Amino acid sequence: MRKITYLLLNITFALSIICTIAVPFSGRLINSYYHYNTTQLSLFIIIITLSGIFSAFLLYSLKSLYKTFADNNPFVMKNIKFLNYISLCCGGITICYIVKCIFIFTPAALMVALMFGMSVLLAISLRDLFRKAVEYKEENDLTI
């Protein structure tokens, strides 16, 4: 199961990079579907590209986090750093889609903003939980 999960993370990471690179070159295709004016199309492409960059960093941090889980060593300081990066990436995506809702409102954009906003809270909670676990682990290591 671990190998499948790690494989899926790698595939998703690679696809996020490919899609993010492709977005700026697909303006004509996007415009044929949405019929945006030039300003809206430019904003849409910027938001989708920024979301792709945040997603790639998020997936990279998730891969790094998963590696420590696979090594049976999850309660280390670097996982706190990875969870912090994940929360920042989720926050960046949330901001992108709030901006999109302000200028080009769609219910889907609102849902993406809400879901990633909740993901920020989840990642922060996990980060704090891991910080406590690392502290307890270090205390116990000193005791032994």
| Structure letter (DSSP) for residue 65 | H
The rounded distance, in Å, linking the Cα atoms of 95 and 113 is 7
- Using the CB atoms, write b or e for 79-110: b if 16+ within 10 Å: bbebbbbbbbbbbbbbbbbbbbbeebeeeebe
Mean pLDDT of 32-37: 89
| Structure letter (DSSP) for residue 27 | H
- Residues with Cβ within 8 Å of residue 62, at least 6 apart in sequence: 9, 82, 86
pLDDT in tens, 17-33: 999 999 999 988 988 88
pLDDT in tens, 52-84: 999 999 999 999 999 898 888 889 999 999 999
The whole-number pLDDT of residue 34 equals: 87
Rg (CA), the chain: 18
Strands (E) located in 34-112: none
| Domain limits for position 115 | 2-143
The whole-number pLDDT of residue 3 equals: 85
Q: Looking at the 3D structure of the chain, how many domains does it have?
A: 1
Mean pLDDT of 117-125: 97
CB contact at 8 A, 119 and 83: no
| Structure letter (DSSP) for residue 26 | -
pLDDT in tens, 77-119: 999 999 999 999 999 999 999 999 999 999 999 999 999 999 9
**Cα 131 from chain centre:** 20
Length of the chain: 144
